[in-house]
Every structure is written in structure tokens, then in C-alpha cells.
Amino acid sequence: GEGRMVTWVPTDESPPSDRKGRLPSKGMMSLNSGKSGNSEDSGQSSSRKERVPGGPIREGHNVFVDPEEMKRKVRENLMKPTYDVAQFYHTSGLWRAIATNLLFEKLTLVVIGINAVWIGVDTDYNKSATLLQAHPVFQVAEHLFCTFFTFEWFVRYMSFKRKRDGLKDAWFVFDSCLVCMMVLETWVLTLIMLASDAGGAGGMGNASILKMARLARLSRMARMARLLRAMPELMILIKGIAAATRSVFFTLALLCLLMYIFAIAFTQLTVDTDVGQMYFGQVGSSMYTLLVYGTLMENITQPLNKLGKENLLLGAVFLLFVLLAALTLMNMLIGVLTEVVSAVAATEKETLTVTFVRNKMQEVLQQIDKDGDGTISKQEFMKILENKEATEALNEVDVDVVNLVDFADFIFADEESEGDKALDFQKFMEVVLQFRGSNNATVKDVVNLRKFVSSAMKQQKTELNDLKDLVLTRAEALQGKANGTSKARDSEVKRVSSTRSSKLRDSNLLLEGDVVNTRESIHDLDCPKAYEHNKSNGSTNKSNGSADKMVKRRKREEERPAMVNPALLELPPPKPSPVLPVSWTLASLPPAPEAEPPAGS
């Protein structure tokens, strides 16, 4: 619905079967739009790449001028370091001070304008062949102009630090040629004529040489080109003419082709007729007739009436040519010129606006830049936005200063480190002008956004991985600390349990020893004879046997593994068993065996 056409251009990698009209699986899809400006970049519509089937990409050019392309090129040129001839001058000195003085420059422009007017006055009222024969007023005027332009050239020449750098400045070379011609005509030629006594009539044998010298004075009018720089409106018209040269050429070429075709037709159709002999005798005369009467429509009724009287068909063909040439192509040419001048005017306005903002920002930066490094940091950027003149200048180029504050972190973000970076002035202006509300989003902007999002995601992923590693490291450290605490607690539990087990064994052994002693005491009380017998014969064995039993039992207890429930460690230690009274334990003790009398008693 918008005049779009999708075409496939086969490449060498595509199979032959795909080149027979089917939608290929390999190849290149291209989108051609009838709209102007629909391309990968808003500034690429006038320089579109075309691909020849099976061949390389080639550059194509549009016939008409694209204002967006011109603005883009202007912005790119303005972002580059601007050329200034003062860069080649001495850093200080009298000649530099005069050459760079604004008043001296304006005075030079005024003198150039006066000289252009005086050339016209001299042409009308000075009828002398040589300057020596002219009225003294004309002689004085010529010498004054020559003196001033020579002095202006000498000041600029002496300002150059290296004199050969003057060849790098086109304006200085141009002025050098004009001054050289003026000096030759005004002073050198006059001195030669005085030396040869040729000041009278007929000097130098031929006055034609002097007339050529007077014609050379017209070259001074070329100085008017310097006035154009002070008049932007004139520059807009001249640049419009230069930019429309291509469009005008092709329009006129189409008009010539149209006149050539109709001239051949009228020359053949009007053979042996009065109108043919008068207007269309040959192809050249026919093209002249069609140009004057049919295109410029100068007294169009004369050939039209005669062609109508001769044949109505001839009159209709002539009107068809008028319709195509005068009403279509000529109006198209006017439209082309109007479009080009409008584009150039918009470009010049863009240039003036951006230049104004650039100069104003440089002035503000010189006031704020305390360290003098020529770069702009985030803190200095905030101070610039607080300056009233800077904010007004940014508003001139449609930059939203309020929202620009929110983008400060993005503008000065350093992708390589986590801190902020400083920008030089060219890069700073390029970034700031990208935040204009009148800018159109292009494919380049989308690609840059995609790269930024991708890099931001990678950075976030890296940060998350670092955070994950940090969490795992902390968790492992805490786990190791917990394991160390549990091991220390287990060792403490084992130590306490072993201590309490040994205490319990000692208590049990003491209790069993007391019980055994009690039994023996009771048995001795019941058997006095046996007691006496044991006392007399085996008191020593008894004590020794009791001690041996206790030692053996303690060894068995030490060799037996301690089976203590850890939960019992939380309980208070057991109280030692009290020694029961004898009267209370007699009934529970088993009867002692009767002692056998010793043998031989």
C-alpha cells in the first residue's frame, strides 16, 4: 500500500534451483520503498547502496537533495575541530593582534564593498586608456585601494609563524593573486610607462595591451566573495545553486531529449509546407523553434496558428509538446530549485545554530574548567547546566535540559570501569546533540541500543556470578566454622563422658569393696571360730586376696568400652551410695558358708 517492493538478489552461494522464481533459502532480501528517506539511516537516502545481481555493492546517488543528509553531514563536520587560520599565526605579537582584530576584519570588508562600487564608477566616468592619463581623483583612489589591500596582505603574511603555511590557507592564496595583479597594474605598469615615457597617447605601440590590463581590473570583483561570508542569506542562495546543479542538469537533459524527439517529428511532418520552411526546415532550427515558442512560450500563437491552418494534427502535437515541456518540465525545474533552496536554508540554519551553541559552550567551559585539561567531567557538566547562558543555548537546538540531567550517569558512564569518565569537547557536543527532540531514530540508533543492552546484560550477568561466588564462599566458611564447633563439642563430650565413666567405675568399685568387707565382717561375727582361724592362719592372705580382686576388677572395667548415653551428661552427677547399716542388710545377705575345720585339728 506504500509502494514497497521486495526483491531478491541472488548471490553466488545460492543454488541454481532457487534462481527460477521461487523464494530462495539463501540470498539477499532487499526492501525498496518509494518514500524518500526510508533507508538504514536517515542520512543515507542520497547515498544508497545497490547490488548488481551476482556482483559487488556499488554506490548510487539520488538526483534530488535530501535535507536530512545535509544536516547530518553538517553536524559531523561541526563535531570535528574547526579550521581557523589563526592556528598558523604567532601566539602573540603586533601582527597577530592586528590580523585577528574584529574591527580590522570589518574594515577590510567595508573597503572591499567600496572598491566594488568604485569599479563601476571608474568604468562609467574614466575614459582614459592609462592611469597616468586619468583624472587625479581616479589616480588617488586607485593608489589608496592598492595601498590598503597590500597592507592587509602584508599583515596577514607577517602573522604566519611559518611563512610557507600561508599556502595552506585558500583565502590567503586567493588574496595573494588579486593583490599581485593589482600591484602589477597600478604601480609596476605605471612605473614602466613612466620609464619608457609612454604616458602620452599611443604608448607601448599598441593600446590593446592597456585595454587588456583594464579588463584585468575586473578580477578585483572576485573580492566580493569575501563579503558572502558576512551575509548568510547570499550564501544560502549560492549554495542552493551549487547543490541544485545535478538536478538542474538532468532536468535540462530530459528537456533537450524531448525537444530533439519532437524536432525530428516536426521536420518530417512539415516537409514541403510553408510552415515547415519557416520554422522546421532542419532539426536544429526545429529545436530552436520548440525552445523559443514551445518552451519559453515567446509569442506562441504565431507557429501554433500556422500549424493549425496547415493541419489540426500538427497543432495538437505542438500543444502536446508545450504541455510536456513548458507546463511539466519547467515547473518541475522550479520545484527542484525550491526544494533545494529550502534544504540548503535548513542546513544553513542548522549550521548557524550549532555553531552558536558550540561557541557559547566553549565560553562557559573556559569559565568552569578549573584544572584546564580541556575535558568535561560529570561535576563540570552539572555546573554547565546551572549556567543560564548555556541552558538557553541548548534550548536553541531543541535539547531538553531538564531531562538531560537524568542522562548524566549514562553520558559519563565508563564501560570499562565502574566510575565516570571525562569527555573532550568534540565528543561532549556530539553526545549532547544526540539528545535533541527533533532527531529521528535510525537503524544505527537501534543497533547502538542493542549493543548497549547486550553489554549491560553481560555486565549484570558477570556481577551476578561474582555475587554467587561470594555467597558460596561465605556459606562454605560458615559451614566449616560450624563443623569445627561440632568437632570441638564432640571432643569435649567424649572427654567429659570418659571422666564421668571413670568416676562411676571408682564409685562402683568402692561400693563393691565395702559390700564385700561388710559380708566378711558379718560372717566373722557369726563364726567366731572360723574368724579366729582366719585371723590366725589367713589374715594376710585375706587382705592380699581382697586387694588382688579389686585390681583385677578395675582392669576389667578399664578394658570394657564405656557405654554412656550423651543425654546423661546433661544430668547432675550421681550421688555416692551410702553404706547401709548392718542390721538393715543382714536379712538380705545370703547365709555365709560354714567354715570347715582345718585339717588335722
pLDDT value at residue 48: 41
297 and 223 belong to one structural domain: no
Which letter does DSSP use for residue 436 in this model? B
| Higher-pLDDT residue of 516, 494 | 494
322 and 428 belong to one structural domain: no
Name the amino acid, one letter, at 338: T
When divided into structural domains, the chain yields a total of: 6
420 and 450 belong to one structural domain: no
Alpha helices in 136-244 (DSSP H): 136-159, 170-183, 189-195, 207-216, 224-228, 232-243
Query: What domain range includes position 522?
Result: 502-564+572-596
Asked whether residue 383 is domain-assigned, the answer is yes
Give dist(CA 402, CA 173) in Å, integer. 48
544 and 591 belong to one structural domain: yes
At 318-351, the pLDDT tens digits run 999 999 999 999 999 898 888 888 888 888 787 7
pLDDT value at residue 195: 81
299 and 314 belong to one structural domain: yes
Residue 104: is its pLDDT beyond 90?
yes
Phi, psi dihedral angles at 198 (to 5 degrees): -105, 20
Q: Sorting pLDDT into bands at 50, 70 and 90, what band is 411?
A: confident
213 and 250 belong to one structural domain: no
Asked whether residue 96 is domain-assigned, the answer is no
Asked whether residue 237 is domain-assigned, the answer is no
129 and 223 belong to one structural domain: yes
Asked whether residue 492 is domain-assigned, the answer is no
Question: What CATH code is carried by the domain that includes residue 116?
Answer: 1.20.120
pLDDT value at residue 535: 52
Residues in contact with 99: Cβ distance below 8 Å, sequence separation at least 6, in sequence order: 86, 89, 155, 156, 159
218 and 109 belong to one structural domain: yes
Contact 159, 96 (CB under 8 A): yes
Residue 484: is its pLDDT beyond 80?
no
Asked whether residue 487 is domain-assigned, the answer is no
Mean pLDDT confidence for 172-192: 87
Asked whether residue 91 is domain-assigned, the answer is no
Q: Sorting pLDDT into bands at 50, 70 and 90, what band is 379?
A: confident
Q: Which of 320, 351, 382 is the last residue of a domain?
A: 351
Nearest Cα neighbor of 213 from 135, 142, 110, 111 is 142
Angle of helix 136-159 versus helix 102-125 axis, rounded to 10? 150
Prediction pTM value? 0.52
At 13-37, the pLDDT tens digits run 444 444 433 434 333 333 333 333 3
At 191-244, the pLDDT tens digits run 887 887 644 444 444 556 666 666 667 777 787 777 777 787 787 888 888 888
Q: Which of 207, 230, 253 is the last residue of a domain?
A: 230
107 and 217 belong to one structural domain: yes
Give dist(CA 338, CA 68) in Å, integer. 16
Nearest Cα neighbor of 15 from 5, 2, 26 is 26
Contact 340, 375 (CB under 8 A): no
402 and 465 belong to one structural domain: no
pLDDT value at residue 220: 74
Q: Which of 13, 47, 78 is the last residue of a domain?
A: 78
Asked whether residue 41 is domain-assigned, the answer is yes
Torsion of CA 223, 229, 231, 232, to 10 degrees: 140
400 and 458 belong to one structural domain: no
109 and 196 belong to one structural domain: yes
Asked whether residue 93 is domain-assigned, the answer is no
String of DSSP letters for 73-108? HHHHHHHSPPP-GGGGB-SSSHHHHHHT-HHHHHHH
Give dist(CA 463, CA 456) in Å, integer. 10
At 581-597, the pLDDT tens digits run 444 444 444 554 554 55
